[in-house]
Amino acid sequence: MLPVRNAIATILTCFFVVGCSGEVNAPPLGTVTGKVTLDGKPVTNVTVNFESANGQIAFGNTDPSGIYELKFRSGLKGAEVGMNKVRIETVLDAPAPAGYKDPIPAKYNSRSTLQMSVQPGKNTHDFELTSK
């Protein structure tokens, strides 16, 4: 009976060490929050994506106040530390209808040149977008 208890204790220990500490192979992350505005007004229901040089993606959706918080994979919060390419685009609940034009200009999403540096710890990145 003792070997079974030891085996169960070992399995549970491994589960809690890996499960409670998050993802073992996650890169260094910094938490990222901020506000998105378009022409000075908060933007609701857009996705903010940060993509690191290693191709790691973190994302967050804006709330009615334009506030977002980035999430990484496996329930971790934040984005990879270092320079990240940023894309901001409208979230659609269904496929875009023919002729649909995202109210967020392409210079912020499909042709984005936005870049932000993520530091260890807390980061705040606000995006003041313009429609022109």
Specify the CATH number for the domain of residue 112. Answer: 2.60.40.10
- Give the number of domains in the chain: 1
Residue 2 lies in a domain: no
Res. 5: pLDDT tops 80: no
Report the C-alpha gap between 35 and 124 in whole angstroms. 8
Assess if residue 75 is contained within a domain: yes
Average pLDDT over residues 77-85: 97
User: Do the domain assignments include residue 40?
Assistant: yes
pLDDT, one tens digit per residue, over 35-66 is: 999 999 999 999 999 999 999 999 999 999 99
Q: Does residue 7 lie within any of the structural domains?
A: no
Answer whether residue 19 is part of any domain. no
Per-residue pLDDT at 24? 56
Domain-located, residue 57: yes
Q: How far is CA 81 from CA 85, 93, 102, 111, 112, in A?
A: 12, 31, 29, 23, 20
Asked if residue 46 belongs to a domain, the reply is yes
End-to-end CA separation in angstroms for the chain: 73
Residue type, 9: A
Q: Domain range for residue 124?
A: 25-129
